[in-house]
Structure 1
Amino acid sequence: MEFIFYLAALLLISLAFAHSYLGERYILCRLFKRDNLPKLFGSDDFTKRTLRFAWHLTSVAWLGMSAIVAVMAQPELNKSLLGQIIALTFAAHFLVALLGSKGKHLSWMVFGAVSLLVVWGST
């Protein structure tokens, strides 16, 4: 039965990497060549950065979910380990949002708070 969970986790990892790579190569780069993107904060830079980090956050979420699925293969469900995986996933969200938007998209604050709260609640 554990094999099924590990296979599902592997599929999620593969999907996450394919999503990020193919999205950058075939969707985002073509979208960003358009000259009619909304101009927020004086240019379309914020729009492009927001679209890019939001795209890749999906992949980060799938990587976190793959780790949770892999933990489900264990005979005993370890609540502390699940909390660490969730906290790490949202810490990655925090960094992607903060760096990807240069701090302008305020979701980084929520992701950081969620990460810290989950760490706190899991100890």
Structure 2
Amino acid sequence: MEQPVLLVAAALTLAVGLLHSWLGERMLIAPLLALPARDGPLARASLRRVLRNAWHITSVAWAGMGLVLASLAFAPLESSGRKMLVIIGLMFAGQALFVLATSRGRHVGWPFFAAIGAISLWAAA
């Protein structure tokens, strides 16, 4: 195994994806869609499906990133692997900063995004 620390980032990324889907559905999406929608975009059933699907597709994308990180943990890091890690690291670092700023530090996700970003960037160095 070339970069075992990437397995930590992969596990965090998979956990973030699973928690995002589960908690988001339970605490945000289901209660929001349970409200009577008389007017506005949520009055249309198709847009209600789009909202739910978009929420969960984000989780699937994070799970995919976790699998990429796990696969990079087992391979020698060449130039393209390091570039992928930089891209993933910057993406998660950016998400951490965005969530930190927009939630004023109250959203539980930003430290996890920051850790995934930091580990990815560290492994790329």
Please classify the TM superposition score into its range, dividing by the shorter chain length: 0.5 to 0.7
The equivalent residue for 2:62 is 62
Match of 2:29 in 1: 28
Q: Identity of paired residues, percent?
A: 35
Q: Does 1:51 align with 2:51?
A: yes
Gaps of 5+ in 1: 83-123
Query: Any runs of at least 4 consecutive aligned residues in structure 1 with deviations exceeding 4 A, and if so which?
Result: none
Aligned residue identity for 1:69:
L
Q: Give the distance between the partners of 2:41 and 2:66, measured in 1 at CA.
A: 36
CA distance in 2, matches of 1:34, 1:68: 38
Q: Secondary structure of 2:34's partner?
A: coil
Counterpart contact for 1:71–1:77, Cα < 8 Å: no
Encode CA deviations 1:12-68: one digit per residue, 9 max, x unaligned: 11111110000110101111122336358xx52111100000000000000110011
Please give the per-residue CA displacement for 1:63-122, whole angstroms capped at 9, x wherever unaligned.
11001111211233598xx9xxxxxxxxxxxxxxxxxxxxxxxxxxxxxxxxxxxxxxxx
TM-fit CA distance, 1:4: 1.1
The aligned counterpart of 2:40 is: 38
Q: TM-score, normalised by structure 1?
A: 0.55
Work out which structure has the larger RCO, using CA pairs closer than 8 Å and 6 or more positions apart in sequence: 2
TM normalised by structure 2 equals 0.54
Greater percentage in helix:
2
What secondary structure, in the 3-state scheme, does the structure 2 residue paired with 1:2 have? coil
Q: Does 1:17 align with 2:18?
A: yes
Alignment of 1:108-119 (within 5 A): none
Unaligned runs of 5+ in 2: 85-125
